[in-house]
Amino acid sequence: MAEPIDRPAELNAAEKTVREAGGAPAEVFYRDDGRMEISFMIPGDRNDRVYTFLWDRHESLMTLGNFVRSKIPRASNMEVNSGVEGENTCECGRVWLLAKRKVPQRDKDDLSCNCGKKLVRWNGGCVWTAQLIKDIPSGA
């Protein structure tokens, strides 16, 4: 079994790899069996899924990066251009009125709820606007 060398650096490196691949590290720690357990989320994933990767210490961190990247297209493709006009209730309870209008030039952007959740992402000849029609009590 490999000697534990500079553990914090290894944990930091794993977190950095997750971030660079586009993920948001949630928890990184060593399991009793010596493997590193790395859980992360994909920003903008409306299901807030938590993915877990078990890393053997002799493995390249590239494996981790590839794993993170493999989760991203699914999470983001789901949302691009998939907005629904009208009332949209966010998971936090706020209700937004989403509207789309066509624009001559290509536009690529997104709108987020106050809680940070993406409401809609687009990439095409339209822009979206979001109007808050029902807020949640602050501090709730």
Q: Which parts of this chain interact with Zn ion (CB under 5 A)? A: 90, 92, 94, 113, 115, 117
Minimal distance, residue 113 CB to Zn ion, in Å: 3
Residue 8 main-chain phi, psi, to 5 deg? -55, -40
CB of 93 to Zn ion, least distance (A): 7
Provide the minimum distance between the beta carbon of 96 and Zn ion in the complex, in angstroms, as a whole number. 8
At its nearest, how many Å lie between Zn ion and the CB of residue 136?
8
Of 38 and 90, CB closest to Zn ion: 90
Q: What does the alpha-carbon distance between residue 65 and residue 20 come to, in Å, rounded to a whole number?
A: 8
Strand positions, DSSP E, 2-140: 24-30, 36-41, 50-55, 86-89, 95-112, 118-134
Q: Which is nearer to Zn ion, 71 or 118 (CB)?
A: 118
DSSP string, 67-106: HHHHHHHHHHHTTBT---SEEEE-TTS-EEEEEEEEEEEE
100 versus 117: smaller Cβ distance to Zn ion: 117
- Closest approach of Zn ion to the CB of residue 119, in Å: 8
Nearer to Zn ion, 104 or 139 (CB): 139
Structure tokens at 124: 């095409």
Smaller CB separation from Zn ion, 35 or 117: 117
Alpha-carbon torsion angle 108, 19, 45, 60, nearest 10? 120
